[in-house]
Every structure is written in C-alpha cells, then in structure tokens.
Homo-oligomer: A and B are copies of this chain.
C-alpha cells in the first residue's frame, strides 16, 4: 500500500493547486498546468489524486486525452469494459466520444500527466457502490 505522503509535492513536476474542476471529481485532487501547445490545441498538466479520489464519467469531444502515469496506482475504465489497473509507466489513449473515468485506487495515491485536446463533457460521478466493487 502506498500512502499519500508525497501527494502535495508531486512525483516529478511539483505541487499542484487544488483542482479547479473539483466539482467534477470525487475526493481531493490537485492540478498543475505544465504547458499549452503553441497552436493552442493541446493542454498539458499533471493531476494528483488522493487515495480513493476519481473523476466523474466524462467524454472528450472534438479531441482526445492521453494519460502518462507517473506515480502510484490507479484505475481507468471505459463504459462497458472492465476497469484497468494503472501503475507508473502506463500510457492510456482515450479517443473522441468514449465515456470513461480515471482515478486513484482506494489504498494508493495516483499521479498522471494528461494531454488534453478538445472539450470535456462531464457526466455522473462514479458511485461509491461502483468504485468499491472494483
């Protein structure tokens, strides 16, 4: 089991701020913006999740998201598919229009870099019942 003792300093890219999109998340998460592509198409940031924290189901429209996992242990799930356990070094590509969520495992903090293009549509939370059944 990994603790969240390093959560506020991050694994590599330093401390993030309290996630300004927190209304679309369950539990505490932190966001650090790293860069925007010069063409304005791709935003890059790191997200740190406390143990048990996760985002709502959501869809990326007119774009995509790529996750580069940098620390801890997490979950990624697309609607209609089994949840996939994530660890440092894993890479996830989410295509346009795919309903999904991602977040920490219950007993571990979790950190990923996210490259995001397009506009997210935020949907319902991942319920405690759903999450605890993983």
Which residues from chain A sit less than 8 Å from chain B, CB to CB? 12-14, 34-35, 37-39, 41-42, 44, 64, 66, 68, 70, 88-89, 91, 93, 95-96, 113, 115, 117
Chain B contacts for A68, CB-based, 8 A? 13, 34, 44, 113
Question: A64–B93 Cα gap in the complex (Å)?
Answer: 21
Q: Which residues of B contact A117 (CB under 8 A)?
A: 37, 39
User: How far does the Cβ of A104 sit from chain B's closest Cβ, in whole Å?
Assistant: 17
Given contacts A88-B12, A93-B35, contact A42 B42 (CB under 8 A): yes
Contact A70 B12 (CB under 8 A): yes
A13: which B residues are within 8 A, CB to CB?
Answer: 68, 89, 91
Query: Contacts A13-B68, A68-B13 given: A35-B88 contact, CB under 8 Å?
Result: no
Report the separation of the CA atoms of residues A78 and B64 in the bound assembly, to the nearest whole angstrom: 31
> How far is A37 from B65 in the complex, measured between Cα atoms in Å?
8
Cβ contacts under 8 Å, A64 to chain B: 37-39
Assembly CA distance A70 to B88 (angstroms): 12
Q: From the candidates B12, B39, B93, name the one contacting A89 in the complex (CB within 8 A).
A: B12
